[in-house]
C-alpha cells in the first residue's frame, strides 16, 4: 500500500483549504452556475393522410457561432453576444433536427421519418442550412429569429425536387433569459409546422402521376 505523507506543518485541513482557495480563484465559471435549456417539446399537429413514402431528415448544417450550445443575441446587425448564464443542451442544428423529426413523426405525413443515423433506404431526404438561431434587440425588446433553408431531395436520383427558405420571428415577453428561451421554443414550433406542411405538399406533388 502506498501511503501519502504530508510535509511537516501541512495538515489535511490545510490541504482542503488550499483546494477550496484555488477553486474560488479559478478563472473558469462553475458548471453549476450555468443553466442548461432545451427547446420546449413539439405540440401536436393536425393529422393528415399519410403518404406511402419514407423520409430521412439530416442535421442542418451551420457555420461559426450557430454550431454551438451558446444562446446567441445580436444587439446590433454586425455584433453577436451570448447569454452568460445559460446554454443549450445540444448545439443549435441538433436541437432543430430533433424538433423537426418529432413534429414530422407526430403529423403522420410520411410512412416513416428517419434520422441520418439510420442506414435504411428512404424515398426522400430533407437537408437544410441553418442561417439564423438567435435573439435580436428591437426597440428595447428581444425578438427570436430562426431561419432555415431546406432542400427536398429524391434519394434514387439525388435530384433536388424542391427548395424553400423559412424565416420565423417570435417576440419575447421580456429580455430575461427564461422568456427568451420560451420564445425560441415557440419559434421552433412554428418552424416545424411550416416545414411539415411544405415537405408533405412537395412530396405529394412529386408522387402524383398527373
Taking only the tens place, the pLDDT of each residue in 117-138 is 988 999 999 999 999 999 999 8
16: confidence class by pLDDT, cuts 50, 70, 90:
very low
Q: Give 41's pLDDT tier (boundaries 50, 70, 90).
A: confident
Estimate the share of the chain in helix, then strand, then coil, as percent rounded to the nearest 5: 30, 35, 30
Q: Give per-residue burial for 168-180: e unless 16+ CB within 10 Å, then b.
A: bebebeeeebeeb
* Strands 35-37 and 124-138, sheet pairing: unpaired
pLDDT digits over 155-204, tens only? 999 999 999 999 999 999 999 999 999 999 999 999 999 999 999 999 99
DSSP state of 61: B
Helix spans in the chain (H):
12-25, 92-107, 177-207
**What average pLDDT does range 39-58 have in this prediction?**
85
Q: Distance between CA 54 and CA 201 in Å, rounded?
A: 14
Percent of the chain with pLDDT over 90: 70
In sequence order, which residues have a C-beta less than 8 Å from that of residue 59 and are 6 or more positions away?
93, 94, 97, 116
Task: Assess whether pLDDT exceeds 50 at residue 28.
Answer: no
Amino acid at each position: 500500500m502506498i501511503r501519502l505523507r504530508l510535509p511537516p506543518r501541512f495538515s489535511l485541513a490545510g490541504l482542503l483549504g488550499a483546494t477550496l482557495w484555488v477553486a474560488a480563484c479559478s478563472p473558469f465559471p462553475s458548471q453549476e452556475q450555468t443553466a442548461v435549456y432545451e427547446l420546449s417539446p413539439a405540440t401536436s399537429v393536425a393529422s393528415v393522410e399519410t403518404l406511402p413514402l419514407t423520409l430521412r431528415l439530416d442535421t442542418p448544417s451551420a457555420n461559426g457561432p450557430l454550431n454551438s450550445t451558446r444562446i446567441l443575441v445580436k444587439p446590433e446587425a454586425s455584433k453577436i453576444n451570448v447569454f452568460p448564464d445559460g446554454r443549450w443542451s445540444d448545439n443549435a442544428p441538433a436541437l432543430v433536427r430533433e424538433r423537426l423529426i418529432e413534429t414530422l413523426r407526430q403529423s403522420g405525413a410520411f410512412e416513416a421519418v428517419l434520422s441520418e443515423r439510420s442506414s435504411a433506404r428512404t424515398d426522400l431526404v430533407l437537408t437544410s442550412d441553418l442561417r439564423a438561431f438567435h435573439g435580436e434587440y428591437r426597440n428595447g425588446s428581444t425578438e427570436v429569429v430562426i431561419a432555415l433553408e431546406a432542400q427536398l431531395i429524391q434519394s434514387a436520383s439525388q435530384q433536388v425536387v424542391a427548395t424553400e427558405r423559412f424565416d420565423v420571428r417570435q417576440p419575447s415577453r421580456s429580455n430575461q433569459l427564461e422568456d427568451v428561451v420560451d420564445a425560441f421554443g415557440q419559434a421552433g414550433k412554428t418552424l416545424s409546422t411550416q416545414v411539415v406542411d411544405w415537405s408533405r405538399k412537395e412530396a405529394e406533388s412529386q408522387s402524383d402521376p398527373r
